Structure 1
Amino acid sequence: MELQLPEIDLGTMGIEDPDAIARAIEIGYRHLDTAQIYENEDVVGEGISRADVPREELTVATKVWADDLAPEDVRRSTEESLDRLGLDRVDLLYVHRPIEAYDPEATLPAFDELRAEGLIEHVGVSNFTTAQFEEASEILDSPITANQVERHPFYREDDLLEYAREDGHTLVAYSPLAQGKVFDDPVLGGIAAERGISEAQVSLAWLAGTDGVVPIPKASSVDHLEANLVAGGIELTREERARIDGIGEEGKLFE
């Protein structure tokens, strides 16, 4: 089954209040992204249980951290994630980073096994280069449905986007607001002023309007949650997009 993700999704790193998760779901968010290393899977799970939305309407994603990527640890840590989330399966399970215990030939078959047993619906990778993605694709029986990478107006790896489009997987963009840097950029500020919207909405609209890209901004207040969702429906002009495309890249925030 193909994985269809909404235009704007919720990154949960740093969210410690289950009610913030429940609010997000009830406002309209349907894809929730967490990770073992965030140490808030229990918060996300409690928020899901508090929200008056059927589980089958949600896409829940988590990630196996780098020191748990040995085959036996993949299974153990995933089962622990499910327990913390209060779920019998997750819709998307990522290899968080291809470092430390990551061994493609050993790690990836463990993901296939979890999928075959119904504990996960889809396999994803995160912070993978094109070469690493290709290697993983050759080893996995499961299709890789997403590569989650840092992407914002100050850092884009367009080779990854081009490859994602050719392969047919989604590029999930984390840190889409560049840790708040979008609020200080004159190009984004100019477009925001002309539009009567925020710099954050400009950045999210630019990302969501890029074919094959899905941003996952973090937000917890109702105002920010709603504003981010609205951004998914804002269509920038070709000229506005060109102005943003012309912003000089400043490098990655997360190595």
Structure 2
Amino acid sequence: MNISFQKTHQRAFGTFPLKGEILAQAIAAAAAVGYRAFDTAQMYGNEADTGAALKATGMARDELCITTKVQPENYGDDRFIASVEQSLTDLQIDQVDILLLHWPAPEGDLVPSLRLLQQAQELGLARNIGISNFTAAMMRQARAVVDVPLVTNQVEFQPLLDQDILLAAAVETGIPLSSYCSVARGEVFKYPLFGEIGAGYGKSAAQVVLRWILQKGVAINTMSTKPANIAENFEVMDFTLSSIDMARIEAMKAVGFRVVTKELVSIAPEWD
């Protein structure tokens, strides 16, 4: 089952870099407007806070789609499964809905971590598994190594960055993409085009960007601590961008702006 593309789970609430009461308030606001998919990671250091906040909402477990990610430091045979079990304890759940490898194995050999990921699913610790920050070539290798569906490759996906190679790989491998840095950490707001397009639909620049991502066939992860923005980011299913506006936004990829570079994350891959 491809959980990440079920209609109710196309829009996930991301939790990085929130912790404590700020995270609890944001998750409560997200739940109130309709979010049921929530994204965290071992690397964020907030799984326990996320678990407590989700429990405090009173939402039934079967309503939720919870994603977490194993950090590379835990890719060893002696650490991987134990780290996932700890994540489940911290999240106060018996099984995560989607378990991802947060980054390709830094030493270059993808096979051991992919096999451990599949083992976690076979042990019942994860309902679905996937990858994050994998290049197109790595997506093809993952598809060859893993015997079960990979439900997503979570990557930076926003209109100022050309990700056509990854989109083509998604079609080729059957591994859908999902986005992080969906508004390029605010960089998109420097360009008037998005607001101009939004005016024609009665929508904000951010809503236009998020709708464009969805219409590209990519699920979205968004984060805000402001209730109005949390609601706005969720309300992107009631309009459709025209083919002309989609093409106008598509042209923005020529900007070539990437948030997550090797300067920001040293283990980031060399993108194809």
TM range (shorter): over 0.9
Secondary structure of 2:105's aligned partner: coil
Alpha-carbon offset, residue 101 of structure 1:
5.5
Tell me whether 1:29 sits opposite 2:35 in the alignment.
Answer: yes
Q: Could you tell me which of 10, 13, 19 is aligned with 2:13?
A: 10
Equivalent residues of 2:139, 2:173 under 8 A apart? no
Q: Indicate if the aligned counterparts of 1:150 and 1:156 stay in contact, CA closer than 8 A.
A: no
Quickly say closer, same or farther: Cα 1:15–1:234, change in 2 above 3 A.
Answer: farther
Equivalent residue, structure 2, for 1:64:
70
Partner of 1:176: 182
> SS state of the match for residue 142, structure 1?
coil
Maintained 8 Å contact 1:146/1:170? yes
Query: Once the 2 structures are TM-superposed, how far is the Cα of residue 185 of structure 1 from its aligned partner?
Result: 0.5
RMSD (Å) for aligned C-alpha atoms: 1.6
Is 1:199 aligned with 2:205?
yes
Task: Name the counterpart of 1:208.
Answer: 214
Q: Which residue of 2 aligns with 1:226?
A: 231
Partner of 2:265: none
Say which is worse superposed, 95-104 or 82-91, in terms of deviation: 95-104
Q: Which amino acid aligns with 1:10?
A: F
The answer to whether the aligner puts 1:124 opposite 2:130 as a matched pair is: yes
- Cα distance in structure 1, aligned partners of 2:31 and 2:106: 34
What residue in structure 1 maps to residue 267 of structure 2?
none
Contact 1:21 1:48 in 2 (8 A): yes
Q: Please report how far the alpha carbon of residue 104 of structure 1 lies from its aligned counterpart in structure 2 after TM superposition.
A: 2.4
Paired residue type of 1:39: G
Q: Please say which of residues 195-204 and 90-99 is displaced more in the overlay.
A: 195-204
How many residues end up aligned between the 2 structures? 254
Q: Which runs of 5+ in 1 are unaligned?
A: none
Which residue, 146, 171, 180 being the options, matches 1:165? 171
Ranges in structure 2 where 5+ consecutive residues have no aligned partner: 262-272
Distance 1:96 1:90 in 2: 15
Shift, 1:174, TM fit: 0.5
Percent of pairs with identical residues: 32
Give distance in 1, aligned partners of 2:127 and 2:229: 30
Is contact 2:155-2:178 (8 Å) kept?
A: yes
> Paired residue for 2:191?
185
Maintained 8 Å contact 1:204/1:232: no
Partner of 2:142: 136
Q: Distance in 2 between matches of 1:44 and 1:160?
A: 30
Q: TM-score when scaled to structure 2? A: 0.88
- 1:50 is the counterpart of 2:56: yes
Shifted more, 147-156 versus 129-138: the winner is: 129-138
TM-superposed deviation, 1:168: 2.7
What one-letter code is carried by the residue in structure 2 that aligns with 1:198? S
CA contact (8 A) 2:69 2:102 kept: yes
2:26 equivalent to 1:20: yes
